[in-house]
Amino acid sequence: MDSSRSLTVGEVAKRSGIAVSTLHFYESKGLIASTRSAGNQRRFPALVLRTLAIIKVAQRTGIGLEEIKKAIGKYPPNSKVTAAQWREMSSAWRDDLNARIRTLEALRDSLDNCIGCGCLSLDDCPLRNPDDALGKEGPGPRILEGKAIQRR
């Protein structure tokens, strides 16, 4: 595709697989930018597709929009993200991604016996919490997150 070509929001949605409403949301958050046609319709440079690909990949790995915006915001809007810039962005996310993977692995391991079990055993099940006793300690799944103080 000619990178100097401008696209309507519908074309961007079709090419990126991202809903028009989401594109408007991204624009309102400053993640992407458009100009206006003579008829006051949004026009995006074709380069926006690369930015959207980065946003999509980052979101799939669990990177939050604010974090993505911080990384993308280092470069001028609608500029061509170079390989070096992508390397810099993705390297910054690597530690966060690795930490998330470790957490998910620990979660999977602690739920290994639980998935498909259904016993909710007061002795063994990591989902146990009679009378919401753990709620007094703080929010979230305390046993699964290794934060439970009281153990039965």
Residues that bind ligand FES (CB under 6 A): 113-114, 117-121, 124-125, 127
Smaller CB separation from ligand FES, 51 or 129: 129
With CA atoms as reference, report the closest residue to 96 among 147, 126, 62, 68. Answer: 62
Find the shortest distance in angstroms from Cβ 111 to ligand FES. 8
Q: Please report how close the Cβ of residue 82 comes to ligand FES at its closest, in angstroms.
A: 49
**Which burial class, exposed, middle or buried, applies to 99 when counting CB atoms under 10 A from its CB (0-12, 13-18, 19+)?**
exposed
Residue closer to ligand FES by CB (options 77, 141) is 141
Q: 3-class SS at 88?
A: helix
User: For residues 77 and 126, which CB has a smaller minimum distance to ligand FES in the complex?
Assistant: 126
How far apart are CB 90 and ligand FES at their closest, in Å?
A: 37
Question: Can you list the pairs that 111-114 forms with residues at least 24 positions away whose Cβ atoms lie under 8 Å?
Answer: 111/144
- Of 33 and 127, the one with the shorter C-beta distance to ligand FES is 127
What's the min distance (Å) between Cβ of 134 and ligand FES? 15
- In angstroms, the CA 81 to CA 74 distance is 11
Sheet strand arrangement including 42-45: 6-7, 42-45, 35-36
The two tokens of residue 72 are: 């993308």
